[in-house]
Amino acid sequence: MDKTTQSVPGAVPGSVQGRGAAQPDYAAIKARQQAAWASGDFAIIGVTLQIVGETLAEMADIRAGESVLDVAAGNGNATLAAAHHGARVTSTDYVPALLEKGKTRAAAEGLDIAFQVADAENLPFGDGSFDVAISTYGVMFAPDHGRSASELLRVVRDGGRIALSSWTPDSFIGQLFKVIGKAVPPPAGVMSPLLWGTEAYIGELFGDAAADIRTARRHYAFRYTSAAHWLQVFRDFYGPVNKAFGALDGHGQALLEHDILELLDRFNMADGASLVVPSEYLDVVIVKRSA
């Protein structure tokens, strides 16, 4: 189900900032996002996505001895993947409880990894501190896209790499966020995180600073016993779904449940025997241009 890796040309015309609208209150938005990701227990879902981190680390050609920063690491899938390649890894997130889950996983595997609370839009590291910055379904959710992209570029050395996995707009997860957004509208003025799952937008964010951009479209399959099982797990443990249901009255919850179950049934490839829902995502490796 994966498509062949391809190169992306330079920047797409147009700025990612200030597209005619007033700047949103990013601090307030980020505080709400942080509360959402801290709700439930994302780690229960996060561990099922480990293959995504391993695949991205391989595509980024992470090598033993390289310094790697995992940005918006969650409970550490890309962190562990980079450490499995022998890299020196620093794992960061702005939700301390998720970093604690990552620490537990690293300790169980005997991996020597540094963990630090950090905001993707204000990384507490010097310029050119890392050979590689990596993020799986993480930095895409930072509300100020231009600033988080600039921070990734800043902390990576000239000739270093930035490796990202992001859900695409037409994917199952992309459609899920559209369903949620219909029930609980997102903050005004904030650009969709799903833009990170398009080659054109990656070119717009990074093209001027990139010596090379490679992409590959892949699929991750959610595997559960049924659509109802998936909904129960995500309603209990996945912050955005948990918070969406919490913001609605009984009628609104029933409508959202109906729409999500309908979406799951539409994407299900298991013929009713169980639930297998593939969701497309975009892997990207950006090589930073030397000054």
Quick one: fold of 6-168+190-219+280-288? Answer: Rossmann fold (3.40.50)
Q: Is 208 in contact with 153 (CB distance < 8 Å)?
A: no
Q: What is the enclosing helix (H) or strand (E) of 163?
A: strand 156-167
Give the mean pLDDT of 2-17: 40
Residue 106 has pLDDT above 90, yes or no: yes
Give 74-102 pLDDT, tens digit per residue: 999 999 999 999 999 999 999 999 999 99
Residue whose entry in the numeric block shows the structure tokens 């090589």: 287
Does the pTM of the predicted model rise above 0.85? yes
Residues of the chain with pLDDT > 90, as a percent, come to 80
Provide the pLDDT confidence category of residue 268 given band limits of 50, 70 and 90. very high
In 156-226, which ranges are continuous DSSP H helix?
Answer: 172-183, 199-206
Give the mean pLDDT of 158-176: 98
* Residue 212 confidence (pLDDT): 98
* Degrees to nearest 5, angle at CA 218 with 142 and 102: 50
* Degrees to nearest 5, angle at CA 219 with 215 and 221: 155
As a whole number of angstroms, the distance between CA 27 and CA 34 comes to: 10
Give 33-46 pLDDT, tens digit per residue: 766 666 668 889 99
3-state secondary structure of 206: helix
Give 276-287 pLDDT, tens digit per residue: 999 999 999 999
- Cα dihedral: 42, 150, 170, 181 (round 10): 60
Classify residue 47 by its DSSP letter: G
* Residue 150 confidence (pLDDT): 98
Residue 9 has pLDDT above 70, yes or no: no
Amino acid identity, residue 207? G
Tell me how far the alpha carbon of residue 128 is from its chain's centroid.
22
Give the mean pLDDT of 44-62: 96
* Residue 37 confidence (pLDDT): 65
Question: Domain residue spans in the chain?
Answer: 6-168+190-219+280-288
Give 223-254 pLDDT, tens digit per residue: 999 999 999 999 999 989 999 999 999 999 99
